Structure 1
Amino acid sequence: MKLVNLKDAQQQVSFTEAVKIGLGRNQGVFFPESFQPLADVDALLDKPFAERSTEILYHLIGDELPKDTLSEMVQRAFNFPAKLVAVDDTHYCLELFHGPTLAFKDFGGRFMAECISLFNQGERVTILTATSGDTGAAVAHAFYNKPNVDVVILYPEGKISLAQQKLFTTLGGNIHCYAVKGSFDDCQAMVKSAFLDDELKQTLGLNSANSINISRLVAQVCYYFEAVAQLPKEKRGKVHVSVPSGNFGNVCAAMIAAALGLPVAKLSATTNQNDTVPRYLDSGEWAPNATLESLSNAMDVSKPNNWPRVETMLERGDFNKHDFYSRSVDEDVTQSVMKQLHEQGYLAEPHTAIAYQGLVQDMDADACGVFLATAHPAKFKESVEAVLNHQLDMPKVLTDALLKPCLAEPLQADYESLKQAVMNKIS
């Protein structure tokens, strides 16, 4: 797999190198120069999830990984289902919250952990990541107690749900968490600064587990095939997919799936009130505003790291830009849609409701729609119960985590504070 730094085309690397480097020169992300369609998508859709995912990833990565090794990695990483649930005859929800931390990022986090463990061959590595809610838990659990690995997680203090926070701040051991006095964008900027610091990179063997890392991104491609595989065959021809979008990695994975031949006719990247991309598509001006807090906090991102990848695919025609939609959904509409879905018998948290709204706004009458549920409703217990006036049952993994003390340390939103804290903790 040949990957190019989108900010420095002279930096070209293999998949293995891209996984180990994480972020390229000039804070550029790595991305394939092109995508080759799969030979027989229909045949692939008839295969079991893990077997199909191995074929897809082998097609993307190439022979850098022996196929039998890749198969073992996939079986360990994807050992839980992605369930497609019918809301009505034409709208289906892909539930991606059946993994160990109840969020879609379990897929990418666990596959990345498999890759890092294989590629580093016992060398010391420090995973540094920012989280707007679910990445922290997925990465922490994927790497927890793995030898020669430390994990440093930054999150915006008071801006993620308590359940999200407790899933990763209570682990301890090789998981080091910092509550940053700022926004997710502040956390993300600190991570980027760390990757420009040669001293820190060399001392700690730094790597990133955000969707910056190509291993997470390619893993996410697989569950879009799983969604279509679970549809009735007569509904697979014209599928409209809607993805709740913050950092735009998840919708980028959907676009890659389409480029490989998955029959995705339209694609919606629906945001909350942090609407940098919808405004950019309307005006042509990239003008991020200050990040606003919302019910859908995992999407409270004003400067999405993965937008350059999405824009690259649109510009070179990997996906028809006229079939790509990005609209914003405000707080009032989010709550209204949550209630609407609940009346239809489907319990949705805010991110899922936003994806549903994005779907119904632009879906053709003769299409089949798939919208994503990226996290379990119980991870947003307080807001869901308040909006729906409905008592939620709590999964055991959450009730256990909520009883444990938070081990995170406070941190100012500046890079030197982070560097000092991490060097004192790990080096």
Structure 2
Amino acid sequence: MLKKIKGGVTAPLGFAAMGLRVGIKEGNPKKKDMAMIYSATPCVAAGTFTTNQVKAAPVKWDRDIIYCSPFVHAVVCNSGVANACTGEQGMKYCEEMAQATADALDIKKDEVLVASTGVIGAQLPMDKIVNGIGLLAPTLDETEEGGHMAAQAIMTTDTMPKEIAFEFEIGGKKCKIGAMCKGSGMIHPNMCTMLGFITTDVRISKDLLYHALSEDIKDTFNMVSVDGDTSTNDTVLLLSNGLANNRTIMVMDEDYYKFVEALHEVNVYLSKKIAGDGEGATALFEVKVINGESKEQAVTLAKSIVTSSLTKAAIYGHDANWGRILCAMGYSNAKFNPDIVDIYFESKAGKIKIVENGMATDYSEEVATKILSENEVTAIADVKMGEYEATAWGCDLTHEYVSINADYRS
């Protein structure tokens, strides 16, 4: 049985974390800007990375470490500067970050993963970074507070830290999985759309860890969009130290699928938190396409609806402008029959059918507006062609989104 528990990346056995301010970010002196996660026990690790052809230096570094190193011990992350479009110097700075972390923790540099987020094109202030690593290492904390401070330190335009943890059982052993992520802008479904760090004490092979993560990304982080922009730094890292001492998961058996279930719940939770915290957003916008002819069709339709600027603007205005939804479905390139589609809106205020067989029902605009005025709104499109479905997450499009991004660097 899966049980939600308090905490984030430090919830599983053996993981410590910390977040501090070291002066990378300008302005607010209270904003933390460096984080570290550490397991004294070696971890097998998996990662998924941006599909943007312009890849930040940390993405290249982590990809090599994940693929070539059998174990890792630590992740170090800065916020404020992305270390993207920084050439050979950016790669050297990744190595310096890893080496400084390795020296501070008495491990090898190829056992350190690095991450950066923030402004593209600027070089890292390495004096502050190295100083920060020296401050983080001796303050690493295995308590809930250590994980929470790390979650705060990776934020950029996020309005809140995003973290979650679950407890479950595998082979009679108590296991835990915890996570934190950041993401608010430059969020688009073309990998995993943010920085995410997931820890677990489950004992599992590296190959199956990677398979579980890469498969689940398709139905979670790949289904999130805020603004249609795919970042240069998108990274999700999953570390497993095996301290739960369950029988090592080596095949796709019952134990494997219990782990997959827990990982999926973590990723869904974080996906919704990212979407609901989109820059300037006032509402989480969830789109469900049901009874699709194929999984691919359902995914394509759901993504097209959730990324439609006109639909997002209508959600902001609490306007049941269902024509924009059908329009977005129509230009998605997925084949369907618009004359048999039903569309519903749903929130905690109720559920209403606004389209039946491609035409408006005799619905109440007042009731529809009430449903759309909640801070979590769902649109359901029933295409009546089969048994497949897909869910995508986004947010409304507001004036504040433009304000935030018009002066992001200033």
TM-score by length of 1: 0.25
Q: Which has the higher contact order (CA 8 A, sep 6+)?
A: 1
Larger radius of gyration: 2
Higher strand fraction (1 or 2) = 2
Using the size of structure 2 for normalisation, the TM-score is: 0.26
